[in-house]
Every structure is written in structure tokens, then in C-alpha cells.
Amino acid sequence: MGYVNEKISQEDRLKYDLATIDKRLPFGSPARDWAIDRERESWVRLYRQLTDKDDGTEIRTYWDFYWKGSLVLVETIALKRFRSDDGVYYGYIRVLRLDVPDNALPNKSEILQEFKAALEAHFIGIGIRVGGKTKSCKVDLEYEGEVI
């Protein structure tokens, strides 16, 4: 099935105990929508986005990424991003922080691949919310100097 973008239902908020997850970071409030793959029980949602530079070009983003029963906190920075006139979004994103629970550490490579797929679906979803301008998405994800 793959990832789809949708608003988070009350049932899903309870199933994944999002009320508790929402309290773990001291700032902002997470998005009310996500990209979810129900068959894999995997989802990603934007937790908080901060613009650091005066000219607004550096965007640091915190993500909740749920993978096979493990909640992973990911902090990223977009190094390059644009949407072409034909609706293709491209992002070059560096992972600054990846908090993986100990039980999932052996699967870090798979988690990063899945996170990348979830991000691509998420960015298409943003396009849908703002008038359908994004038709497809390609993300290059950099982690510890390696591009995924």
C-alpha cells in the first residue's frame, strides 16, 4: 500500500498514545496530520520546525517517526529544496540527530530507508494541502556523510 497522507484520527491518537508523545519535547505542538503506512504500522509526522537564519533559509525540523513499534526522534536540516514548475519536489536533507531505541539499533539502515520513503510521501502531502502543486517527490537523505 505505501504511505498515504491523512489527518490523524482520534482512534489513531489513542492507539499510538500521541498525547504522551506530544509532551516529550518542550516546544511547539506537532502536526495534526501524518504520512502513514498502515500495513507496516509506520508513520511520520512533523513535530516542530524552526528557522534559524535571519534570511530564513536554514530550516531545522523535528520529526516523530514510528517504525515497527519503536518511536524514533529525528532532527533534520534542509540543505537544498525546490519545486519545479511541473510539480516535482526535490529536497536534500541532512539528519542531524537520530534517536533510535536500543532494541531497534541493529536496524538503523532500514529505519533510515523507511524514513526517507515516509518523508517523500509527507512532502507530496504538503503539496496536496496547498493546492496540489507537488505531484512527486525525491529526497536525498544524508546521515553521517552517507547519502541514502
140 vs 31, more confident: 140
3-class SS letters over 67-105 = ECCEEEEEEEEEEEEEECCCCEEEEEEEEEEEECCHHHH
At 88-127, the pLDDT tens digits run: 888 899 999 999 999 999 999 999 999 999 999 888 876 4
What is the spatial distance between Cα 132 and Cα 113, in angstroms, rounded to a whole number?
26
Q: Which of 3-7, 42-46, 55-59 has the lowest mean pLDDT?
A: 55-59
Contact 128, 134 (CB under 8 A): yes
At 8-30, the pLDDT tens digits run: 999 999 999 999 988 876 666 78
- Tell me the pTM: 0.87
Instruction: Give how many domains the chain has, as a whole number.
Output: 1
Query: Which residue, chain included where needed, has cell 517517526?
Result: 65
At 128-146, the pLDDT tens digits run: 455 566 778 899 999 999 9
Of 89, 45, 95, the residue nearest 65 (C-alpha): 45
Is residue 70's pLDDT more than 90? Answer: yes
Instruction: Look up the domain containing 52 and give its range.
Output: 4-147
Phi, psi of 143 (to 5 degrees): -140, 120
At residue 79 the predicted structure's pLDDT band, cuts being 50, 70 and 90, is confident
Check residue 117 and give its pLDDT.
Answer: 93
Is residue 69's pLDDT more than 50? Answer: yes
35 vs 54, more confident: 35
Run of H or E residues at 108: helix 108-129
Check residue 86 and give its pLDDT.
Answer: 81
